[in-house]
Structure 1
Amino acid sequence: MPELDETFLALPLRTLADAALARAKELGAEHADVRIERIRESVHRFRDARLESQSDGTDLGISVRVVHAGAWGFAAGVTLTTDAAATLADQAVAAAAVAAVLGDRPVQLAEEPVHAGATWVSSYAINPFGVPDAEKHARMIDLSERLLAADGVDHVDASVHLVQENTFFADLAGTDTTQQRVRIHPEFTATAIGSGTFSTMRTLAPPVGRGWEYLTGTGWDFDAEIAELPELLAEHVKAPSVTAGPTDLVIDPTNLFLTIHESIGHATELDRALGHEAAYAGTSFATPDKLGTLQYGTPVMNVTGDRTTEHGLSTIGYDAEGVAGQEFDIIRDGVLVGYQLNRQMAQEQELGRSNGCAFADSAGHIPLQRMPNVSLQAAPDGPSTEELISRVDNGLYIVGDKSWSIDMQRFNFQFTGQRFFKINNGRLEGQVRDVAYQATTTEFWGSMEAVGGPDTYRLGGAFNCGKGQPGQVAPVSHGCPSALFRQVNVLNTVSEGDH
């Protein structure tokens, strides 16, 4: 069981929080909370089995957020003294006084039980920041060299992105939490260069809430994937171009997770649905008047949000408002039944308790409503991927994510992928290329005939989901099984590009 970082615990966390909270209370704040956060981040990049660049950084700061005279106020700094913490409370209250003039309704927060003295550490075995750089580089270079040595591979790009996030939170109600989570994202891309053309193929291993053990055999077999990648790339180079038109699709979790992220995850953020978050990538077609009635997809579609999945990138014990992690329904039997909430929106919309979806990417930023792990559930007795493929006479099996596009309402979209295998009479017949699938959100999920069983379920995800102004990034995972979709519009990206 990993333990909390002693160097973070050695900071005067409680003393700083007490100074800020006492000052906020003295100034008449109705609510006040303090976050002290340290984020260690390291990125190692390799080109053709040589270290190309390395960056290592630590972000450490403190923030104070208040509700005063019915308005939010926020201030942040990097000086960790009691005087500086109290001054941040002064500044936050002053900011609230300005906001109060502009506000049209007083801020009220949904009730949350007090979580006093709570600690939480994410699920990992080996903290990557305790592994010597030489050992990290040796593993990345070894895998890169094997890939580069294969026939048909001309270049190899590789990277590993590591994060350790430590957070102390306390509020006037009596909650105080201390948390630590670690995440890792390794990636390898092979490039083949032909006569005036080039093709690439990337590993499918997703970023996860694990430690260095992820690269040495726990949770993913990188050795096996590196061994099979050159053959897949060689097949892709010679593959024929796809024939455009309505096509049955079996979509692997390594591709479908991104479609979930864009067409469900962002669409069911309540601030977007309410029109509050409009400047950064738009609002949402899934507006609150449709709650409980919108037929998002077929009855086999069940989507949950959670902050609890083991190794999930959004998994946390308590969110940035001190709300305990939970699991909740977003879509049940194909119908929209829930949104992602923070405490303010839960109260304003009379939706009960917050479901713990507040997050800030540093102490320097105010918490926003951010995406939890949003996942399509497998059918308990559902089919295998092979069985789903066997149901298709003429179609495609899509594996791995690549580029994507979606409109400002999270409604019209198209997605590409890493690998596309032709299905003929229920069997795979080799790869095709130049493929994108296009639909509206409800058309696409309304074409889903079947979802696979638990054995087909896998977590995908990303480190860099963007939102807000100033912009913030958040890590998020999406679990899903393989799934079968009927008659989805497939585009030939080469012929489309020629028009």
Structure 2
Amino acid sequence: MARQVDEDFRGLPLQALADAALQRAGELGAEHADLRVERVRGADVRVRDGQLAGGGDATQSGLAVRVVVDGTWGFASAADLTPEAAVRAADDAVQMARVSRPLSTERVELADEPVHVGEWVSSYAVDPFDVPQSQQVELLQAWSRELLSAGVTHVDAEWGAVKEQKFYADLAGTRTTQQRVRVQPVLTAVLVTGDGVETMRTLAPPAGRGWEYLAGTVDEGAWAWADELAQLPELVTEKLKAPSVQAGEYDLVVHPSNLWLTIHESIGHATELDRALGYEAAYAGTSFATPDGLGTLRYGSDLMHVTGDRTVEHGLSTTGWDDEGVATQSWDIVRDGTLVGYQLDRRIAALTGAGRSNGCAFADSPGHVPIQRMANVSLQPVADGPSTDEIISGVEHGIYVMGDKSWSIDMQRYNFQFTGQRFYRIEHGRLTGMLKDVAYQATTTDFWGSMARVGGPGTWELGGAFNCGKGQPGQVAAVSHGCPTALFTGVRILNTTEEGQA
């Protein structure tokens, strides 16, 4: 049976709020007006060495009215979900637009979008907010005790969940209601011995799933927790004793648990068109991938096929419609190694003559205006591509990396450096033990240009994060990035210790 939006949200006076706000905005001369009603609930639990360390459960709700009056934006929000509050918000939004008009340097136009009416719910089996907190704590404690009994010194175990509910209506007639659920479990093992201190984190990514991701079977959508927790004590012990890498050039085999973050930083942010045009620079800078290179910029090797996608099942950026009423979709960003597309909202689409937005507007709360945000930007596998083992078997002298850790990238999304959770030496096609103190460094186009093999569909996984920041005032969005295992040749490897660099 398909899920529906929770009855207590659907039972709010959504249509009455829309009628009140939109009628008032229209009477005051708005060319465009939209209303969002939102309720966002977030919860987390933290366990330290098997003992409850903290947690929380909070809900934010409200309504927002956005208008275009005489080519100028206006915006206002309210906490009260009443028709009177909706009318006041419309009044305030229109007034803001009129006050702002003398300061505006460009006329706001929005790309056309068909009218949509419907309901959408993300793909999950068990609502995490239906699970008692005591049960959540018990599971994290059990996992922690398992690691501690296997010789790990300390364990940090935590998980978070978000339920996001939205109603959208505009003057054109669109009316949509949506509900998304996402979860993020993380365990970190800390080993302290006379040889030093080492840490290692689980590879499980955050996902657009429910409680089944933690407590279900693998067939029900759970991560393979039993396997990973069983291996973690031995892996962190091996990492502590591993030799430090010798800096130099290596062939690099990158697992999806690491490569997703490289995609996020060097492709995802770089192909947000507002950044590429210079309209946005907060948090992540602008972009080297400017529109004059559309259709000609060699982003990477011929094997490189990157899509923007807000429809993939369990994606953190997946939804039915964006916060401008645009039906979400999938499109090419890089094809055969060449830049062919960007991520757009309705204003940027109209400004650049794109014709239609590809559904990338999002606001993280009712108190924030929608801004252009990242889709699930993903590297596609090769249909008959190799397995991870087959890719490794073809490498004479290289390194295999799993798991994300730290990163650094310049404000043009061009020069970068990444580390990871687990690194293995590859010699003559075989893994020959762990390495540590490893970082890889490159420019974006050199790195993706060196991609020599791309794994098949069996190696493809969704990674992602809850905390992508953008805008001023800042907003936070969750986003996934899918990718297969891939081989990059002649990559510069750094040793992160001063001794190793010498």
In the superposition, the TM-score normalised over structure 2's length comes to 0.98
After TM superposition, give the deviation of residue 438 of structure 1 in Å.
0.2
After TM superposition, give the deviation of residue 338 of structure 1 in Å.
0.3
The code of the aligned residue for 2:110 comes to L
Moved more, 405-414 or 276-285: 276-285
Partner of 1:137: 137
Runs of 5+ in structure 1 lacking a partner?
A: none
After TM superposition, give the deviation of residue 497 of structure 1 in Å.
8.3
Partner of 1:160: 159
Query: Alignment identity in percent?
Result: 63
- Which of 252, 259, 266 pairs up with 1:263? 266
Partner of 2:292: 289
* Residue 489 (structure 1) aligned with residue 492 (structure 2): yes
After TM superposition, give the deviation of residue 3 of structure 1 in Å.
2.0
The code of the aligned residue for 1:254 comes to S
**Cα distance change on mapping 1:377 and 1:363 into 2, 3 Å:** same
Give per-residue Cα distances to partners, 1:80-128, cap 9 Å, x unaligned: 1111110100110111112221222211111111002x10000000000
Structure 1's consecutive aligned runs of 4 or more residues displaced over 4 angstroms after TM superposition are 496-499
CA contact (8 A) 1:357 1:372 kept: yes
Partner of 1:101: 102
After TM superposition, give the deviation of residue 17 of structure 1 in Å.
1.3
Partner of 2:312: 309
Partner of 1:24: 25
Partner of 2:43: 42
* Residue 199 (structure 1) aligned with residue 198 (structure 2): yes
Question: Following the alignment from structure 2 to structure 1, what is the Cα–Cα distance between the partners of residues 497 and 226?
Answer: 33
Give per-residue Cα distances to partners, 1:321-349, cap 9 Å, x unaligned: 00001000000000000000000110110
Partner of 2:87: 86
* C-alpha RMSD of the superposition: 1.0
Partner of 2:126: 126
The code of the aligned residue for 1:405 comes to S
Partner of 2:182: 183
Question: Following the alignment from structure 2 to structure 1, what is the Cα–Cα distance between the partners of residues 142 and 122?
Answer: 28
CA contact (8 A) 2:182 2:210 kept: yes
Moved more, 195-204 or 139-148: 195-204
Question: Following the alignment from structure 1 to structure 2, what is the Cα–Cα distance between the partners of residues 343 and 497?
Answer: 50
The code of the aligned residue for 2:480 comes to S
Partner of 2:16: 15
Question: Following the alignment from structure 2 to structure 1, what is the Cα–Cα distance between the partners of residues 500 and 31?
Answer: 57
After TM superposition, give the deviation of residue 140 of structure 1 in Å.
1.2
Question: Following the alignment from structure 2 to structure 1, what is the Cα–Cα distance between the partners of residues 498 and 486?
Answer: 27
Question: Following the alignment from structure 2 to structure 1, what is the Cα–Cα distance between the partners of residues 22 and 32?
Answer: 9
SS of corresponding position for 1:417: strand
**Cα distance change on mapping 1:134 and 1:29 into 2, 3 Å:** same
Instruction: Trace 1:351-430 onto structure 2 (pairs within 5 A).
Output: 351-430=354-433
After TM superposition, give the deviation of residue 196 of structure 1 in Å.
7.0
The code of the aligned residue for 1:159 comes to E
CA contact (8 A) 2:404 2:421 kept: yes
After TM superposition, give the deviation of residue 195 of structure 1 in Å.
3.0
After TM superposition, give the deviation of residue 496 of structure 1 in Å.
7.0
Question: Following the alignment from structure 2 to structure 1, what is the Cα–Cα distance between the partners of residues 11 and 196?
Answer: 56
Question: Following the alignment from structure 1 to structure 2, what is the Cα–Cα distance between the partners of residues 185 and 22?
Answer: 41
- Which of 469, 473, 477 pairs up with 1:474? 477
Question: Following the alignment from structure 1 to structure 2, what is the Cα–Cα distance between the partners of residues 282 and 334?
Answer: 23
CA contact (8 A) 1:438 1:489 kept: yes
After TM superposition, give the deviation of residue 410 of structure 1 in Å.
0.3
Give per-residue Cα distances to partners, 1:299-334, cap 9 Å, x unaligned: 000000011000000000000000001000000000
CA contact (8 A) 1:247 1:396 kept: yes
- Which of 332, 348, 351 pairs up with 2:351? 348
* Residue 450 (structure 1) aligned with residue 444 (structure 2): no
The code of the aligned residue for 2:148 comes to L
CA contact (8 A) 1:143 1:223 kept: no
Moved more, 53-62 or 104-113: 104-113
SS of corresponding position for 2:405: coil
Question: Following the alignment from structure 1 to structure 2, what is the Cα–Cα distance between the partners of residues 51 and 463?
Answer: 23
- Which of 413, 429, 436 pairs up with 2:439? 436
CA contact (8 A) 1:292 1:336 kept: yes
SS of corresponding position for 1:231: helix
Question: Following the alignment from structure 1 to structure 2, what is the Cα–Cα distance between the partners of residues 496 and 273?
Answer: 39
CA contact (8 A) 1:40 1:56 kept: yes
Question: Following the alignment from structure 1 to structure 2, what is the Cα–Cα distance between the partners of residues 269 and 473?
Answer: 15
CA contact (8 A) 2:272 2:374 kept: yes
* Residue 173 (structure 1) aligned with residue 172 (structure 2): yes
Question: Following the alignment from structure 2 to structure 1, what is the Cα–Cα distance between the partners of residues 488 and 83?
Answer: 58
The code of the aligned residue for 1:52 comes to A
**Cα distance change on mapping 1:428 and 1:196 into 2, 3 Å:** closer
Question: Following the alignment from structure 1 to structure 2, what is the Cα–Cα distance between the partners of residues 140 and 420?
Answer: 27
Runs of 5+ in structure 2 lacking a partner?
A: none
SS of corresponding position for 1:401: strand
Question: Following the alignment from structure 2 to structure 1, what is the Cα–Cα distance between the partners of residues 353 and 427?
Answer: 51
The code of the aligned residue for 1:68 comes to V
Question: Following the alignment from structure 2 to structure 1, what is the Cα–Cα distance between the partners of residues 499 and 305?
Answer: 34
After TM superposition, give the deviation of residue 280 of structure 1 in Å.
2.6
The code of the aligned residue for 1:384 comes to S
Partner of 1:280: 283
The code of the aligned residue for 1:98 comes to V
Number of residue pairs the alignment of both structures matches: 497
The code of the aligned residue for 1:175 comes to T
Question: Following the alignment from structure 1 to structure 2, what is the Cα–Cα distance between the partners of residues 284 and 459?
Answer: 24
Question: Following the alignment from structure 1 to structure 2, what is the Cα–Cα distance between the partners of residues 74 and 498?
Answer: 52
* Residue 222 (structure 1) aligned with residue 225 (structure 2): yes
Give per-residue Cα distances to partners, 1:245-271, cap 9 Å, x unaligned: 111000000000000000000000001
CA contact (8 A) 1:45 1:158 kept: yes
The code of the aligned residue for 1:36 comes to V
Question: Following the alignment from structure 1 to structure 2, what is the Cα–Cα distance between the partners of residues 279 and 372?
Answer: 18
**Cα distance change on mapping 1:100 and 1:254 into 2, 3 Å:** same
Give per-residue Cα distances to partners, 1:14-70, cap 9 Å, x unaligned: 111110000000000000000000000001111001110011100001000000010
Question: Following the alignment from structure 2 to structure 1, what is the Cα–Cα distance between the partners of residues 355 and 123?
Answer: 30
SS of corresponding position for 1:160: strand
Question: Following the alignment from structure 1 to structure 2, what is the Cα–Cα distance between the partners of residues 421 and 160?
Answer: 28
